[in-house]
Chain A
Amino acid sequence: MLGRTLFIDPGRCIGCQACVSACRECDSHRGTSMIHVDYPDAGHSTAALPTVCMHCEDPVAPCAEVCPAEAILVTADGVVQTADPTRCIGCGNCVGACPFGVPQVDPAQKLQLKCNLCYDRTSAGLAPMCATVCPSGALFYGTLEQLTTERPGVSVVTEFAFGEVVVSTGVAMVAPASHRGPVPGGLPLVEVNGRPA
Chain B
Amino acid sequence: MLAIVLGSRGLRDFDSALVPYAAATVLLAFGVTYRYTSWVSGPAARRLFVQGWRTALSRTNLRAAPTALPRLALTYLGFQKFLGARSHARWIAHQLVFWGCLLAVLITFPLTWGWFTFTAASPQGPGYQMRLWGYRLFSFRQDSLLGWSMFHGLDLAAVLVIGGVGYFLWLRTRDRRAVTGQRFGYDFVPLIALLTVSVTGLLLTFSELALHGGGYEFLAILHMVSVVLTLIYLPFGKFFHIVQRPAAVGMQLFKDTARRKGEALACRRCGEPVDTAPAVANLRETMRELELGWDHGAEYCPRCRRVLRGGAYLDQVKRGFR
Contact = CB atoms under 8 A, between A and B. Distances in A.
Interface of A: 10-11, 27-30, 36, 38-41, 44-49, 51, 59, 62, 65-70, 73, 75, 81, 85-87, 89-93, 95-104, 106, 108-111, 116, 119-120, 123, 160, 162-165, 173, 175-176, 179, 183-193, 197
Contact of B302 (A75, A86, A95, A110): A95
A27 B177 contact: yes
B322 A44 contact: yes
7 contacts: A11-B318, A69-B45, A91-B48, A97-B298, A100-B309, A184-B315, A188-B296
B315 A10 contact: no
B314 A186 contact: no
A59 B321 CA distance: 33
Contacts, number: 232
Given A85-B86, A109-B82, A193 B251 contact: no
B300 A187 contact: yes
Interface string B226-259: 0000000000001001001101100100000000
Contacts of A193: 314-315, 319, 321-322
Contact of B238 (A68, A86, A99): A86
Question: Which of A40, A51, A120, A184 has most chain B Cβ within 10 Å?
Answer: A40
Give the top 7 A-B pairs by smallest Cβ distance, nearest first: A40-B310, A186-B308, A101-B302, A49-B310, A101-B305, A165-B293, A186-B309
Contacts of A11: 318, 320
Contact of B86 (A75, A111, A163, A176): A111
B44 A67 contact: yes
A175 B180 CA distance: 32
A164 B304 CA distance: 20
B309 to A, nearest CB: 4
A97 B292 contact: yes
A36 B181 CA distance: 23
Contacts of B290: 59, 62, 65-66
Given A30-B177, A65-B290, A69-B244, 13 more contacts: A10-B314, A40-B308, A59-B290, A59-B291, A68-B48, A89-B245, A91-B251, A101-B303, A104-B302, A183-B313, A184-B312, A186-B310, A193-B315
Interface string B259-290: 00000000001000011000110010011001
Contacts of B9: none
Contacts of B245: 89
Interface in B104-161: none
B275 A92 contact: yes
B313 A189 contact: no
Given A28-B180, A92-B279, A192 B311 contact: yes
A130 to B, nearest CB: 15
B269 A102 contact: no
A134 B59 CA distance: 56
Nearest to A97: B287
Contacts of A75: 181
B178 to A, nearest CB: 9
Interface in B154-180: 176-177, 179-180
Interface in B181-237: 181
B307 A40 contact: yes
B297 interface: yes
B316 to A, nearest CB: 5
Interface in B71-89: 82, 85-86
B254 to A, nearest CB: 9
Nearest to B249: A89
Contacts of B319: 193
Given A65-B292, A97-B283, A187 B308 contact: yes
Contacts of B280: 96
Contact of B321 (A47, A67, A110): A47
Given A89-B245, A90-B248, A108-B85, A45 B310 contact: no
B244 A38 contact: no
A48 B32 CA distance: 49
Contact of B292 (A36, A59, A111): A59
A40 B310 CA distance: 6
B39 interface: yes
Contacts of B180: 28, 116, 119-120
Contacts of A160: 309
Nearest to A62: B292
A41 B322 CA distance: 9
Contact of B305 (A41, A119, A120, A187): A187
A163 B296 CA distance: 10
Nearest to A46: B321
A155 to B, nearest CB: 10
B318 A120 contact: no
B318 A10 contact: yes
